[in-house]
Amino acid sequence: MTEVAIVTTGGYYYNWQGGSAFYDWLNNFCTNNSKYTPHVISWRPESSVPEKVKSDFKNIHYRPNNGCDWGCYNYFVESIKKNDIENQYRYAIFCHDDILSAEYDWPTYLFDFMEKNKDILLSCFAGSYHEIDVSKTSAELNPGGFVKGFTSMCFIVRLTENFLENNPFITIPGFDQDLVGDSGCAVVQHNIWNTFGSEKIASIFHSSKDHNVLNFVHCFKRGRSVRVFTEENISSEHKLAPVLNYNQVINQGWTLKPGQFAENSSLGINKDFSGEI
C-alpha cells in the first residue's frame, strides 16, 4: 500500500514567484519517500503544462477549471471512489501548487501527527477558533461554544470509509476565486462541522503546544508573500475569532442548517449525511 496521496491543484505550475521549485520539490520528495504518491489535478489543459512536469509525474488528471481548489479536491475523492481504489491510500494531503516551505519533510509532520492521534480526521499546521453560530452549526457536534477552522492551502485527511462515503468537499460551478474558491471553503467547513464535528479537526501547533512549530508555520510561503496568520490563529491559547460571516454563501443561495450538509437547490447540490465517523 502507498499510504499517502499528495494531491495538488495544478494551476500555477511555474507561473508564480517560486517558479519550478514546488514541482521540483514534490518530485524529489516522493521519489525519496516511497509511502507518498503525487497526484496533480490540473485545471489547465495539457498544452499549458510544463514538459518537465509531464515527464516527472504520471498521475496528472486533467479537468476544466471548475470549482477552484475544492473542485480539484472533490474530483480526487470521487475519482478514487469511482475507480474502487480508495483502499490504496490511508491519507491524502491536499495542497496548492504555489506553496513552499523551508522544511523539506513537511508532509512527514502531518503524517506523524495523524499516526499518533487516531481520533483525528483532519489536521493542518495552524487553524483558527470561531464562535459558533448555533442557527447554522450543530452545538452537539461542536461542544465548547466554538468551531475549528483549518488552512485550505495545505492539510491532511484520514481517508476512512465514512469520510469517503460522506465526502464533505463540493464543486461550485465556475472559477472565480472569491465567489467559488472562498465560498467553497466556507461550505466545506460547514459540512465538516455538521457531520464530523470540530473534535475531529486539529492543528499541529495548537495540539502539540510546540512553539517551534510557530517558526515552521511562518516558513511557509504562498503566492507572492509570506503566509500571515493572525494572533488568534497561532496562539497556543483558544482565542475565539468572531462568528464567520456567511452572507456571501447565503446570497448565492446556500441553505445552512445544524447537523446537515449545505444545500443549494439552484446548483443542484444536495447531500445527505449517511453515518457517523
Torsion sign (Cα): 97, 98, 104, 106: negative
d(CA 191, CA 166): 9
d(CA 161, CA 166): 8
Task: Say if 120 falls within a structural domain.
Answer: yes
Length of the chain: 277
Task: Say if 273 falls within a structural domain.
Answer: no
Task: Quote the pLDDT of residue 145.
Answer: 87
Task: Say if 203 falls within a structural domain.
Answer: yes
Cell of 162: 465514512
Task: Quote the pLDDT of residue 138.
Answer: 96
Task: Quote the pLDDT of residue 267.
Answer: 84
Task: Quote the pLDDT of residue 206.
Answer: 57
Task: Say if 21 falls within a structural domain.
Answer: yes
Task: Quote the pLDDT of residue 39.
Answer: 97
Q: Are 118 and 112 in contact (CB under 8 A)?
A: no
CATH number for the domain that contains residue 89: 3.90.550
Give 98's Cβ-side CA count (13 Å radius). 14
d(CA 57, CA 176): 27
**Helix residue ranges, H only, 65-182:** 68-82, 106-116, 161-165
The domain tally of the chain equals 1
Task: Say if 43 falls within a structural domain.
Answer: yes
- 3-state SS class at 260: coil
Task: Quote the pLDDT of residue 144.
Answer: 83
Ranges of the chain with pLDDT below 50: 224-238, 274-277
Task: Say if 275 falls within a structural domain.
Answer: no
Q: Which domain holds residue 8?
A: 4-267
Task: Say if 274 falls within a structural domain.
Answer: no
Task: Quote the pLDDT of residue 235.
Answer: 45
Task: Say if 129 falls within a structural domain.
Answer: yes
Residues 125, 154, 188: CA angle, nearest 5 degrees: 105
